[in-house]
Structures are given as structure tokens and as C-alpha cells.
Structure 1
Amino acid sequence: MIDFTSALYLGLHHPSRLLQPWQQLTLGVPAALAEPPGAQEIAQELAQLQGCERGVLMPSTLHLFWDLFGMLCQQPVTLYLDEGTYAIARWGMERLSARGVAVHPFRHHDANALLSRITLQARNRKYPVVVVNGFCPACGTAAPIGDYLDIVRRFGGLLVLDDTQALGILGEAPALHSPYGHGGGGILRWSGYSGPDILVGSSLAKGLGAPVAVLAGSERLLRRFAVASDTRVHSSPPSVAVIQAAVHALAVNRLQGNLVRRRLAQRVGQFRGGLARIGWSSTGGWFPVQTLRGIAGERAIRLHQQLSQNGVQTVLTRPRHGKEPRLSFLFTARHHAREIERCIDMVDTLAREVKRQRKLNDSRDRQLWFAGQRYTYL
């Protein structure tokens, strides 16, 4: 079975034999009283990787965004939500909605729509907070960070990024021969922006393969977050095992990350080139989430099932606004060239069969229609 369903893009595994040993998984106290061993150090390393002053480690992005929006609602704020924002950040924002805070959605990656929204609300003099994904795998493009920042700074607000998709994949100085850039620091490093008015929440569970999250930003905001956090008081902190997995992930990223990212880019390029060879294409750019163009709804479901029956596992994805499902392939650096070729051959074979079957059905329908017309005129 060839698996194109894993979001472990760099293919990083963290077996216990490669991690530093630990004597206990947890201290039995919340992070507000005592950080688990290594938590502060790894949080700081992650913050520096992303181009930020300070980081705080959290068990997940759900904990992170719950606490972040809880902190923000301590002052008069208005939220502006990019319509493509991932569900986890939306769940955190529901905490603010329940407290009567206004949430204004705007069109995905549309800076003009954001400007119009903020301008209309400017007279309320509330602190504007803009929430967006750093990179959108559904459309295969990065958010217009620079445009959003210009607007946020014009109104004295804050930009909140969910950078889970890009962390570990995108980095500094992207170029034709290295489309992901270098270092794997995420969307801020890739786009070249930074500042005290940016907060970045990211899970390491995709690119870096460790189920833990980090909030990164300015020293002032992160100090405030650490004090205001509810889950750092009432929930368990990340386990020592998970922290050691993050330590291992960053060590691998330092030593081999750029090589692994080049290998990943080669696999994505091979897939896109193979599709072009058989007259197909995909959305996603160079990102390791590739979605077939022109295949949606029942056709996508049918092809998904047929690929599975022939040993190729794919993902059915549903774009925002409840559109029809589409067929996606998630690539990792562990995929082999021969697996990509087999996948392309299988897609080509099955697509030809679907097309042939459709022609047969159309021909049969025409025959039935003509037979009905002859019967009508008798």
C-alpha cells in the first residue's frame, strides 16, 4: 500500500532509542508552577527558528489558541478572520464570541477586503486583531503577510498567524532550485517579515513530527501570555517524552533539514511533472499537499475508492464554504520515486477507464433517447 495521507512532510520519526532518556513523564504540577525539563529551552529555540524573541511551549494548538484569545479578551478587541483560517483557531475564537466580542470574516487572502472591514469598524476604537493561516494548503498559497501587516500597523493592531503547515517546510531565501527556502523557520522567515505586533502559533506535529505546539512572538506579549494562560494552570503541560521528541526534531532539522526539504521538493516536482505528462494538473504549487484539478464531487470520491482498491491511499478534502470534495495527495520525504511513478500510472489508467465508461453511458443514453423519440412518433 502506498500512503499519500500523512502530513509528516519531512518524514521525521522519533523512536525512543534516539531520544534522551527520562525518569518520569511529568512533574505532576502545572506549567504555571514549574516547566517540564527542557520546555523553556526548546521553546526559545523554536522562537529563534521562526524569527521571534520568545516562545512558550503548549500541549497543542487547541490549548494555545484557547489561552491566546482568552488573554486578548481582557481588553476591548475586534477580531478579523480570514475565511480560510483553520478550524482550531476558529474554536479558540469561539471563546471570544461567547463573551460578545465581534468577529468579522473577510475574503480569503484579500487584503482589500480586510482594509474595508477594519475601516468600517475603526470608529469603535477597539484593538483590531487579524487572524489568518500563514500558508493555505487548500489553495497552495501563502497569506499576503506584508499587506496584512501594513493594515494592522496602520490601525495599531495585532496579526495572529497559525503557521502549523509551514513550520519545518518553508524557510529563508526561497529560490527556483530550493522552493522551500532554508532552515524551515516557517512563514515569517519565508516572507521576510517580523515585528512585535505578530504572534505565531504552530504545531510541530506536521513538518517536525512532534505532537506539541509553540506560541512565538515578542518578549512583552509572551510574558503576558504566560501569566494569563488558563491551561498552564488547569491542564497538564507537554510530557517530557514529547519535549525530547521536539529536541530531536530540531537537531535533525539543523543537521539534515535542507537536504530533506530538497528531497521533498523533488518528489512534489516529480508528481506535478507526471501529471502534466498525462494531461492533468494539480493545485498546491510546490507545497507537499497536491489536489487534482478538474476532479470534484462524485468523480473525486469514485477515484479515491478505486485508488484505494489498487493500493494507493489518498485524502478526500473539502474546501471552505461546503464545496464538493476533492482528491488530494500528501507527500513526505520518505516517498520513493517509484511510488510516485506507480501513482501517476494508476491515476492515468483509472481516469481513462472513468472517461471510457462515461462515453459508454452517454452513448447508451443517446440510444435510449432516440428510441423514446421513435416510440413517441408512432
Structure 2
Amino acid sequence: MRRHLDHAATAPLRPVAEAAWAAAASLVGNPSSTHASGRRARARLEDAREQLADAVGAHPTEVVFTSGGTEADNLAVLGGAAAGAALGRPRVAASTVEHPAVAQAVASLGADRAHWLAVDADGVVTPRALATLDASVAVVSVVAVNNETGTLQPLDAVLAAGRRAGALVHSDAVQALGHVPLVFAASGLDAMSLSAHKIGGPVGVGALVVRRGVRLAPVTFGGGQEARLRSGTVPVALAAGFAAAAAEAVAEQQGEAERLGRLRADLVGGLTALDGVVVNGGDRVSPAICHATVTGCRADDLLLLLDAEGFDCSTGSACAAGVHQPSDVLLAMGRSEADAAASLRFSFGPSTTADDVTALLAALGDLVPRARAAAG
């Protein structure tokens, strides 16, 4: 049997999401058309918008559907940068441990416009870094839950610093939804990014939640279907599946967080009992992610050994054209290149059981020495 311990990459489709998608997929009509079929499609789309907004504590008019978390991040960063530049605020600030969708968008603006916020050894943005924000910054983007380590960022402190600088504050909340409390209205954020397939929704849909009154510039052009901010025909069935998955994930969040927290604690205990294994991320972490460095081995070797034994997990590091690269997140946290290339991420969801954790630890006890031997 296979044991899926890579929910942070993609989660199994929830039955409620599949049912919602299938029901909406049978509708004929473009939601922007004015005929009866189009109006039926539009009504289903708006139902999904309201359901998603309710799940994350937002107003329906604040939900902008996108093709996923990556597009939502790009829209927040680049749309905010363009709007800010027109007002004499040319720079965008982001932490050094952001998802590539944010990090690369910021880097694309050029060195003179990118303002990087340093983190400590746990990957948490430092007060000294936040104190560097000034009136030249248009947007501050700091991830809510790190996609590799699961570290929770101090968003209250980020917000306070952003407000002092007069900047908009965005957070990539893709790994937060369904795992930690997430209420947009109470968060103080100006924008946050979401993705469906991380919580058991369909692949190919996400959302940028934008506070009413906040102005972003569009970064793609066309019909302006989503609040004149994001163009393209909105996939009604995907939106319906996303909303259904979000509603269920949020309804189950507290109980699941407690259950997954216990599983994570068991895994952390077993990992730290292994010689030369260090768990990363500090004390404030998502219950759904456990990131560990296995010194003396290559993460890719261990990943392949685990895969052969039926375990799905990930290195948590970037791969470009099939070439393994050390984790930029761990490098930003001050780790060596060897440690950054020797780390694995295990991530949990509704299908994860105590038996999965027990089996994983038993397998690692046998496989870690083999991986170290392979590394020479």
C-alpha cells in the first residue's frame, strides 16, 4: 500500500469537492453570458464565491478566483507593485523564505525594487528586518505558514510594521487554510492567496482575497471577468469544488489540528531519537508539516528509498531541469548547503493515520543508514 505523506504538495480530492465539481460541470453556459444558461452558470459561480468567502471570513466581493496559488501570489505582488509605483512607492518587501511564486515575482522587479526581510534560525522574520520598512515600500508579502518547514510567521508584527510604513500587506496563506485559524476580516491583511488542491479541492483553481477599497493593478489583460482584476473565463466547476473543499476543511479545522498535532508530535519524537536527525521550524509550526534534516545523507537518496517502500514525501527543495538544488529556505535560515540538501518534508491531511507515522519511523530506521552509506 502507498502512504501519502505529501499533502502540502497536493491533497487527495475530497468527496464533497468531487461531488460539487461534477454537479457544476454538467452546467452549460459561460458565466459572463447573459442568456439563461449563462445566468445559471453565473448563479453557481456566485454561490461558490459566497461559500468560499464564508469559509475564510471574507465578503464575497473580496474573492477573486484565479488559476491557483501561484497566480494569486503573482497578482498580489506585481499588481501591488504596479499600483504602488504610480504613487511613488517603487519597492516590494518579502521575506527570504517565501514560496517561489512570491520570491521570483519580487526578484523580477529588479534589485533596486526588491526589499528582502531576513529571518532567524527558525525561519521567522526578525523585528530588525521589519524595522527597515519605510515609505518607499508599496507591498509587504510574508507567508503565513512556510510551505517547507511549516513555520508560522508573526503576521501581527508584520502588519504593524507594514501599517507604519503605509504599505499594503499580503500573505500567501495557501498552507494555512484548513490547518490554522484563518479569518480574513479579522486578520488585518489587505490580501491573501489561497489554493484549492492543498486542501482536497481540484487542481487548477485558487483565489486572491483582496480587502474592499484596496487597489491593485491587473497583470494580465482581457475581459476583466474577476472584478476587472483578473481576466479569463472563470471555471465554474473548479470554483464549486474549491468552495466545497474549503467549507469542509474549515469546519473540521480545530479537530483536525488537534489530531494532526498529536501525529506530528509522535513523528518528531521518533525522528529526534534517530542519530543525526534535526527537526526544523521552531515551536510555532503547522500541525500538518514536519520538516527534518538527516545529516550525512542526500535527501534525494532517502526520498527514492522511501518511495520504493511506498511512502510519498518530498525533499522540500527546488528542482530546476531535474537538477537537485539545496533548499533556499534552509539557506536563508543560516544552514549549510549540505544540510539544505539533506532535508525532507512530511505533510499530513485527513487520510493520515497513526499507523502511517509508525510505519514511516520503522522504515526510516532501516533506510537512513542505507542513504548515508550511498552518500559515502
TM range (shorter): 0.7 to 0.9
CA contact (8 A) 1:40 1:57 kept: no
Question: Bigger shift: 206-215 or 141-150?
Answer: 206-215
CA distance in 1, matches of 2:154, 2:107: 25
Once residues 103 and 295 of structure 1 are traced to their aligned partners in structure 2, the CA distance between those partners, rounded to angstroms, is 33
SS of the residue 1:170 aligns to: coil
Q: 1:151 aligns with which of 139, 157, 161?
A: 161
Distance 1:286 1:71 in 2: 28
Cα RMSD after superposing both structures: 3.6
Map 1:300-339; keep pairs closer than 5 Å: 300-318=299-317, 319-320=327-328, 321=331, 323-339=340-356
Mapping of residues 167-246 of structure 1, within 5 Å: 167-171=177-181, 185=182, 194-195=187-188, 198-211=190-203, 212-221=205-214, 224-225=215-216, 230=221, 233=224, 235-246=231-242
Give aligned-pair identity as a percent: 17
Query: Is the Cα–Cα contact under 8 Å of residues 71 and 228 in structure 1 kept in the other structure?
Result: no
SS at match of 1:160: strand
| Structure whose CA Rg is larger | 1
Task: Single out whichever of 327-336 and 66-75 deviates more from structure 2.
Answer: 66-75
- SS of the aligned residue for 1:15 comes to helix
Please list, as runs of the form range in 1=range in 2, the aligned pairs for 1:80-91 lying within 5 A after superposition.
Answer: 80-91=93-104
| Equivalence map 1:272-351=2 (5 Å) | 272-278=268-274, 280-284=277-281, 285-295=285-295, 298-318=297-317, 319-320=327-328, 321=331, 323-351=340-368
Q: 1:103-159: per-residue Cα shift (whole Å, max 9, x none)?
A: 21121312311322x24xx4xxx4531111111133332112121112111122111
* Partner amino acid, structure 1, of 2:202: A
Structure 1, gaps ≥5 residues long? 172-184, 362-378
- TM alignment of 1:90-169, pairs within 5 A: 90-93=103-106, 97=109, 102-108=113-119, 109-116=125-132, 118-119=133-134, 122=135, 126=136, 128-169=138-179
2:174–2:195: 8 Å Cα contact kept in structure 1?
yes
Query: Which structure has greater helix proportion?
Result: 1
Shift of 1:59: 2.4
Please show how residues 48-63 of structure 1 align to structure 2 within 5 Å: 48-53=54-59, 54-63=62-71
Calculate the TM-score normalised by the size of structure 2.
0.73
Q: CA deviation at 1:334?
A: 0.5
Q: Is the 8 A contact 1:4 1:331 kept in 2?
A: yes
Match among 235, 260, 263 for residue 264 of structure 1: 260
Q: Is the 8 A contact 1:40 1:56 kept in 2?
A: no
Who is 2:5 aligned against?
A: 4
Q: In the comparison of the two structures, how many residue pairs are matched?
A: 328
Which consecutive unaligned segments of at least 5 residues does structure 2 have?
A: 120-124, 225-229, 318-326, 332-336
- Residue 23 (structure 2) aligned to one of 20, 23, 46: 20
Aligned to 1:79: 92
Q: 2: distance between equivalents of 1:94 and 1:209?
A: 30
Partners of 1:71 and 1:229 within 8 A in 2: no
Instruction: Name the SS for the 2:298 alignment partner.
Output: helix
Change (3 A) 1:210 1:42: same
Structure 2 CA distance for partners of 1:36 and 1:83, relative to 1, 3 Å: farther
Residue 290 of structure 1: how far off its partner (Å) = 1.5
CA distance in 1, matches of 2:348, 2:361: 13
TM-score if structure 1 supplies the norm length? 0.72
**Residues of 2 paired with 1:198 and 1:155: CA distance?**
14
Residue 325 (structure 1) shift: 4.4
Structure-2 residue corresponding to 1:42: 48
* Cα distance in structure 1, aligned partners of 2:250 and 2:93: 36
AA at the equivalent of 2:305: Q
